[in-house]
Amino acid sequence: MAHREVKEAFVSNLNGTSLGEVVLGSFLAPVCLVHRAFILVLYYQAKGTLPLPLPPVSHLLLDFSLLVLPLVLSCTLLSDILSQVIVCLTVILACVFCFIYQTSFRSSALQPQKIFSNFLQSCIQFDQVPFVTLFRVFVNMKTAISILAVDFSVFPRRYAKTETYGTGVMDFGVGAFVFANALVSPEARRKSISGSKMSHITKQILSVWPLVALGLARLVSIKMTGYHEHVTEYGIHWNFFFTLAIVRVLASALLVVLPAGLLWLFALLISGFYQFFLETSELKTFLMHNNDREKDFVHANKEGIFSIAGYVAIYLAGVQIGLYVMQPRSQVKDCLKMLFILFIGSLLSYAALLTCQALVEPVSRRSANLPFVIWSVAQSLFFMSCLGLADMVILFSKGASSCRFLPSSMNFQENVAESEAYQNRRVTDGLCLIQAVSRNQLLFFLLANLMTGVTNSVVDTLSCSSLFSVCVLLVYMFTNCLVIYVLHICGITVKFW
């Protein structure tokens, strides 16, 4: 068997993992985020100043060690003991939180109930909803790690994309990526349509040319280099860039005519009707059949073409959530209420998912069926809720320690916009890896895809030891982060349109 065929077989015919393990993985990023914040808070308590008096590369190393390294280890060497790792990290966080609380309020005459009451009434300010930024960045980072890690034997096969049915971690990554884009779409941010509706749609068609160009570039490079590909993901000529482009255009056309308050209903209707056709026609058999690829373009790329219906439904649901979370909120208690509603939405979605899997069929990323749509939304809401809760913990710690600003988190309202604290926030955000990735998300995703191809061309991923595999992944991720970080500290935003 040729080396390419061996690699293709290595990522094929997999069945995924349990829903619970995917949920478990949602806790790691928030825990790591709070760890980084607590380190900065403790330093502020000791020295009374931020950012750290270190060169920019040291800030990058700190963020990389606390935010990226744990993600790499969680899907490689520590994957089998991830629950124990998260519990241990959480216990450490609880101890540090108690230390910050006690040292900050030791001389305070206020009762704990009054302290928390004052916190709930506190006014906050932010230019962007922090946990939405965190959600998008961590989805991007996890995707970047997974697209290369999946080619190494140290990466658990249960995390990889499933062949037909199942819930692999990478399966969720695809749905979450679409959901993340919808959260910050112009429609979710309530940007008014300039000109006629048709001109707006035309503008959206033109705006996706970078995705189409990237899709064509990926297609040509794969065919010319003979790079291995998992055909049942999207098809022979299709790839995720094409899916993103078409979903964006179709969703924009629908959003022009659909009422904003009922997008969740139309997302359910689209995915429901699509599931109905899967069940009542030959479409399901057609999508799962692998021996008819040579007939025509539709047969060759049937997964990519027909799964668009499911991704459009995910996108509409994401816009609906974006419209809700982007609403202005001025107090901590309002944000906590929002997070509670997101968490309840996640629980209800998971209940609907279990019902669908019992009565209809399991989750299928390959067809993007109704259970896949519900799962993508449910898990995205849960992950956002965890990140939002972590942000609340960080915010309380900032208030307790009088540390007014930490990178990528909510801030207490300042009376003077140009205060020293405001200037410190600008400096701190300018040294933050999360802000760097957020600034150039598409470039980060493109660079990760490019570096994945380069790494596979120079490293025999299947024969690498576990330790060497992790080292390669860390070098790969550090290279991606370094490029994006340098652009950020230089104030460069790369736009393709």
pLDDT tens, position by position, 415-436: 544 455 556 666 677 789 999 9
pLDDT at position 1: 53
Instruction: Name the pTM for this structure.
Output: 0.94
Residue labelled with tokens 């990889």: 160
The rounded radius of gyration (Å) of the Cα atoms in the chain is 23
**C-alpha 217 chain-centroid distance:** 24
pLDDT at position 83: 96
Q: Is the peptide bond before 259 cis (omega within 30 degrees of 0)?
A: no
Q: Delimit the domains of the chain by residue range.
A: 3-489
One-letter-per-residue 3-state SS of the chain: CCHHHHHHHHCCCCCEECHHHHHHHCCHHHHHHHHHHHHHHHHHHHHCCCCCCCCHHHHHHHHHHHHHHHHHHHCCCCHHHHHHHHHHHHHHHHHHHHHHHHHHHCCCCCCHHHHHHHHHHCEEECCCCHHHHHHHHHHHHHHHHHHHHCCCCCCCHHHCCCCCCCECHHHHHHHHHHHHHHHCCCCCCCCCCCCCHHHHHHHHHHHCHHHHHHHHHHHHHHHHHCCCCCHHHHCCCCCHHHHHHHHHHHHHHHHHHCCHHHHHHHHHHHHHHHHHHHHHCCHHHHHHCCCCCCCCHHHHCHHHHHCHHHHHHHHHHHHHHHHHHCCCCCEHHHHHHHHHHHHHHHHHHHHHHHHHHHHCCCCCCCCCCHHHHHHHHHHHHHHHHHHHHHHHHHHHHHHHHCCCCCCCCCEECCCCCCCHHHHHHHHHHCCCHHHHHHHCHHHHHHHHHHHHHHHHHHCCHHHCCHHHHHHHHHHHHHHHHHHHHHHHHCCCCCCCC
pLDDT at position 475: 97
Distance CA 287, CA 299 (A): 9
pLDDT at position 434: 95
For residue 181, give the nearest of 245, 270, 260 by alpha carbon.
245
pLDDT at position 134: 96
Q: CB neighbours of 446 closer than 8 A, spacing ≥ 6?
A: 214
Residue 149, CA distances (Å) to 161, 265, 280, 376 in order:
12, 37, 38, 22
Q: CB neighbours of 103 closer than 8 A, spacing ≥ 6?
A: 45
Do residues 261 and 187 touch, judged by C-beta distance below 8 A?
Answer: no
Task: Show the low-confidence residues of the chain (pLDDT under 50).
Answer: 416-418
Do residues 373 and 317 touch, judged by C-beta distance below 8 A?
Answer: yes
Alpha-carbon torsion (309, 314, 317, 323), positive or negative = negative
pLDDT at position 186: 87
Q: CB neighbours of 197 closer than 8 A, spacing ≥ 6?
A: 256, 257
Distance CA 31, CA 387 (A): 9
Residue labelled with tokens 């595999």: 469
Do residues 489 and 56 touch, judged by C-beta distance below 8 A?
Answer: yes
332 residue type, one letter = V
Residue labelled with tokens 């410190």: 424
pLDDT at position 289: 81
Do residues 445 and 143 touch, judged by C-beta distance below 8 A?
Answer: yes
Residue labelled with tokens 């806790």: 27
Which tokens go with 269? Answer: 């209707």
Q: CB neighbours of 233 closer than 8 A, spacing ≥ 6?
A: 161, 303, 366
